[in-house]
Amino acid sequence: MTTAKSPFWQKVVDDAKDENGNQRPFFSMAPMEAVTDTIFRRVVAQAGGPDLYYTEFTNAASMVHPEAKFSVQGRLAVADGEKMPIAQIWGSKPEAIGGAAKLLPALGYQAVDINMGCPDGTVIKNDSGSDLIRHPDRAAALIAAAKESGLPVSVKTRLGFNQVDEYHDWLEMIFKQDVQVLTIHLRTRKEMSKVEAHFELIDDIVAMRDRISPQTLLQINGDVKDYEHGLALAKEHPGVDGIMIGRGVLNDPYAFEPGNQDHTLAESIALLKLQLDLFDEVNQTANKKNFEALKRYFKIYLRGFAHASQLRQMLMETHATDEVRALLKEHVGTLVAVD
């Protein structure tokens, strides 16, 4: 039995219109472990931001475990006033996935996404992530369990485990589960992120969706650089409903902004300072963050300026947000925009 689009996803589609009221694809920031927490989501929102956000993937078994649940609460933390992200969960047991999904509405979540694409060895050993591609019956049971929460359920996956052509059977099976959205990272588990995304398969996947489950939204992921790139891709491949961008945002925090606009050094530094402030804010809660993890972001904001690499090196030696602020104050004047 097929169901209509949920009000949540219908609104996402309805809200995705260009300035002339024409339908455009919706854009989302990809779920990224240790990246897309409440801090970074709010920084990206300040830089233009996508229509939709996802949390980092969260272990469903931990969420329903009386003791382990505290270890994952930081992943699901959402700040007041922040746009509610979609919760991405992973697991192998219907009881855990169903139980975790049922906890989400009380936390304010309106939609749940199941990870069926993670290539990480530990996740695969736990019969989860991309391992589900090899176990379609289990994948179907997880989708059914998540639906019991009453939340709209989506799936994010890859083309196959080892072979690209696995997508014929695998995606057909997913479409038959009547999920609200299928997000397809256009690579296999084996390809990791080492080969180019298979954009050449988009039209075939659109046709498959139209044939099996026309009400399911199709979101494309992999190697999309920014908003304009995503827009062009959707134009080239009618039927694509959404575009998900991951690493593009790590190259350019303004990746979701229409028009490839130029930004000043002062704007970039303001984003970095916002990230520092939000880091301090979150560290006053129970969900403490590791300062070292902040360092991966420095290059995002200090790219494209002469002398930036020296400043970045100094920032890499810091141990606290105030040290970073002091260095910025002292050295930002030495940076010059380069073409």
Report, as residue numbers or ranges, the catalytic residues. 118
Rg (CA), the chain: 20
In the window 15-34, what residues touch ligand FMN (CB under 6 A)? 30-33
Is residue 253 close enough to count as binding ligand FMN by CB under 6 A? no
Q: Is residue 24 part of an annotated ligand binding site?
A: no
Among 168, 176, 247, 273, binds ligand FMN (CB under 6 A): 247
Q: Is residue 88 part of an annotated ligand binding site?
A: yes
Q: Is residue 48 part of an annotated ligand binding site?
A: no
What is the phi-psi region of residue 124: left when phi exceeds 0, alpha when psi lies from -120 to 50, beta otherwise? alpha
Amino acid identity, position 287: N
**Per-residue mark of binding to ligand FMN, 71-110 (x: CB under 6 A):** -----------------x----------------------
Please choose, from the candidates 213, 225, 186, the residue with its C-alpha nearest in 3D space to the C-alpha of residue 202.
186
Is residue 246 close enough to count as binding ligand FMN by CB under 6 A? yes
Longest dimension (CA), the chain: 64
Is residue 37 close enough to count as binding ligand FMN by CB under 6 A? no
Is residue 335 close enough to count as binding ligand FMN by CB under 6 A? no
Half-sphere exposure of 230 (CA within 13 A, CB side): 30
Mark the segment that binds ligand FMN (CB under 6 A) among 100-108, 135-143, 240-248, 282-290.
Answer: 240-248
Compute φ and ψ for 284, nearest 5 degrees: -90, -5
Among 48, 50, 98, 117, binds ligand FMN (CB under 6 A): 117
In the window 54-73, what residues touch ligand FMN (CB under 6 A)? 56-57
Written as six digits, the tokens of 276 are 């520092």
DSSP 84: P
Measured from the CB atom, the residue of 94 and 113 that comes closer to ligand FMN is: 113
Q: Are strands 181-185 and 242-245 parallel, antiparallel or unpaired?
A: unpaired
* C-beta separation of 328 from 269 below 8 A: yes
* C-beta separation of 274 from 294 below 8 A: no
Q: Is residue 229 part of an annotated ligand binding site?
A: no
Is residue 185 close enough to count as binding ligand FMN by CB under 6 A? yes
Q: What is the number of the residue whose Cβ is closest to ligand FMN?
A: 246
Q: Are strands 336-337 and 26-29 parallel, antiparallel or unpaired?
A: unpaired
Q: Is residue 246 part of an annotated ligand binding site?
A: yes
**Per-residue mark of binding to ligand FMN, 216-235 (x: CB under 6 A):** -----xxxx-----------
Is residue 131 close enough to count as binding ligand FMN by CB under 6 A? no
Helices (H), 152-201: 167-176
Q: Which residues pair with 266 in a beta bridge?
A: none
Bind-site residues for FMN:
88, 156, 185, 246-247
The binding site for ligand FMN (CB under 6 A) comprises 30-33, 35, 56-57, 88, 115, 117-118, 156, 185, 221-224, 245-248
